[in-house]
Every structure is written in structure tokens, then in C-alpha cells.
Amino acid sequence: MTIRNKTVHIGNLFEGDKALWMVLFFLCIISILEVYSASSNMTFERGAYWSPVLKHGLYLGIGVAITWVIHRIPCRYFGWIVVIGPILSILLLIAALVSSGSLNDTNRWLNVGGFSFQPSEIAKGSLIVVVAWLLSVMRDEKGATISAFKWILGFAVIICGLIVKENLSTALLTFVVVLMMMFVGKVPWQHLSILIGLIVICGGIGYSILRFTPESTLEQAGQLPGMKRLTTWAHRVRNHTELPNDPLQYDLTTNPQITQAHVAIATCNLIGRGPGNSAVRDFLPQAYSDFIYAIIIEELGLAGGLFVLLLYLALLYRAARIAGRCRKNFPAFLILGLALLIVTQALINMMVAVGLFPVTGQPLPLVSRGGSSIMVNCAYIGMMLSISQSAQQDAEIAPSVKSEEKTIATE
């Protein structure tokens, strides 16, 4: 009897959707294994064999603790983020833009008490919460109203506009997720189609400028305020479109990220080389971050790469199922938005690694080495788990409510 009570008590510590907990568990295990393997350069440079993976494990531990704490908070309290989130995000983004410190020639990081983080990680989550709230309160029998569309577009332009100067890929990723949320929220199609059309036109013009403008002109334009990243964007687009068809023409020194990632994938098989046996980790820049999916495929094979992909798809599937059981619109839109944010970023990272998308600098959520990114994504998972508990309670209440209504109608 004592053992049974203890087991039930431990099980109650981790409430919410068990599939989401399993996805988090597997991604953390894969993350520790692959970051440990992919950090060989870092261990050599620092002369500390265990330091990188131990630090990463600490971040994962803190992230899981954040997940646990947030998943115990009733999801109705997440509405307070609508009040605090946008203001805090705008202030942090402005502070990052005007800060003197920089990393990789960008002012996208802030340092507080010795801990560095990207305000964009907080900003994009806050924007998702705001969009979910607007879609839930500004709607009629047909779906979201025109007012919801205008407010969402206004918040998205402000937040993404502050992000785009130093982090184009994050701004585009966030805006795409907002578009998908507006589609799910049934924003009037005539307005949404016009917006998508304008985005396609502007995207085509921007791509043409980056692809075909002479290098000298780009360098001159890069001297203008807010345009210092222009040449970087152009190089990434051109490196993606100008890859040789003949493998013998690859230059391993010109584009080491792309070429070494392709080598890692091309030399794998169904089961891979095995954990810790990567042959390109010492030559692939950002092997433990932006290109960790290439290391996963090399070491765990096509089966391992497919398993990681299925984990993210399972996350999205469970979010959709949970959203369908929610009685209120806000938690339903919120869990879908958070899942879309995580999964879309993961798909972009994977497409970059296999050569289907230009290099973006987006890490693989919950797998790539990092601090603030892991903690923020774990916070998202915690919010999703909290919503899953609310949906489960709604599902349990619904039959009794229907039964009472039937009884009253009979009487």
C-alpha cells in the first residue's frame, strides 16, 4: 500500500499530456549525446573535456525545472503575458539594439548579471501569446474580426521590425507563425490573402536584390544605417543557389558549414556511424548548434534523423489534439501557436542542414547547445503541458454537463 501511494504521488508530479513529456525527454537525451560529441573543438580549445557538456546539461536541467514549474500554473494566468510581454519585449529589443556589446557582428544579445540572452526569444513568445488572445476575444460567428487582423498585424510589425535589423531569420520565422495562426483563427480571407500577396511580392523583390545586385553596390548599401547585415544576407542566398552539381567541385574551405554538413549526411547510412563517431565534427563550424542535425544524421543515420523529425511532428500533432479538446479559444490558439513556433524553427534548421534552405543561424529547439534558447523553449513546453491539463479537465467535465442538460430538458 505504501509503495502504491508513493508511485501515485511521483506520477502526479508530472501532470499533463504524457506524450509531450516523452517528446521533451527524448529530445533532451539526444541533445546531451550529440552536443557531447559535437563539442570536440570546444573541448580542445578550452582544455576542459567535460565542461561543455556539463554546462549544457545544467542548462537542460534548469530548463526541465522551468517546464515543471510552469506546467503547475493554471493556463488562465497566461493571459497576464498579454499585458506585460509586449512592453517588456519592446524595451529589451531596443536595449539590445543600442547596446555596445555584440556577438558575430550583431547586437542581438543582452548581458544581465553575467548571463547572456537574446531578447528576440522572449519577444516571439510574447507575440504568440498576444496573437492567441486577440484571436480569442475579437471574433464573431464567422471567425476573427477585421479588428483582430489589424491589431495582430500592428503588434507583429512592431515586434518583428525590431528583430529584423539584427536577426532576419527570426523575424521572418515569427511572422510566418503569426500568419499561420491567423489562418487557423479564421481571419477574414480577403484581408489575409492581400497580406500574403504583398509578402510574396516584397519577398521576390528582396530575393532578387540579394541574388543579383553587384557585390560593390551591396557593400556601399551596407554602410547605410540599419543595413550592416545586407552583405551577410546576400552571401547566404548566393551560397545556397550557387552550389555546384558535381561533388568534386565542392570547396571545403569556402563554405565549410554547408559543404561539411553535406559530407556528414552523404557518408551516413541507415543506422549511422554511432554516437560519438562523427568524422566531420572537428571541421564543421557550429556543429553543436546550427548544424547539429547534420551530426545527428551522421552518427544516428537516416533512422535517427527521421526519429528526431517525428518527435517534432508528434509535438505538433499532440498540440492539435489538445487544442481540439479545449473549451475556450485562448488556450487552444496558444498551444497551437507555441507548437507551430517550435516545429517551424526545427524544420527550418533541418532544411538548412540538408541543403534545402539558405543558412539562417536558427538552432534546433531543445537539442542545440545554448542557454536562453533552451530555457525559453522549455517554458513553451511547460505552457503547453498546463494547457493540456486544462483540456483534460474540460473533457472530463463535458460529459457531466451534457448529462445535466439532457436531464433538465427531459424534466
**How high is the pLDDT of residue 158?**
94
**How high is the pLDDT of residue 408?**
44
**How high is the pLDDT of residue 19?**
94
DSSP 346-386: HHHHHHHHTTSS-------TTTSS-SHHHHHHHHHHHHHHH
- The secondary element (H helix, E strand) that includes residue 190 is helix 189-212
The backbone region for 178, taken as left when phi is positive above 0, alpha when psi lies in -120 to 50, beta otherwise, is alpha
Going from the first residue of the chain to its last (411 residues), give the mean pLDDT of each consecutive group of 10, the final group possibly shorter. Answer: 45 82 94 83 64 85 94 90 91 81 60 77 94 92 90 94 86 94 91 92 88 81 75 79 65 72 81 80 78 90 94 96 92 96 95 87 88 91 94 68 45 49
The SS3 of residue 142 is coil
**How high is the pLDDT of residue 150?**
94
Burial 302-322 (b: 16+ CB within 10 A, else e): eebbeebeebbebbbebbeeb
**How high is the pLDDT of residue 20?**
95
pTM: 0.88
**How high is the pLDDT of residue 234?**
80
For the chain, the C-alpha Rg in angstroms (whole number) is 23
CA dihedral (328, 333, 338, 342) in degrees, to 10, reads 140
Give the sign of the dihedral formed by CA 57, CA 58, CA 62, CA 68.
Answer: positive
- The secondary element (H helix, E strand) that includes residue 144 is strand 143-144
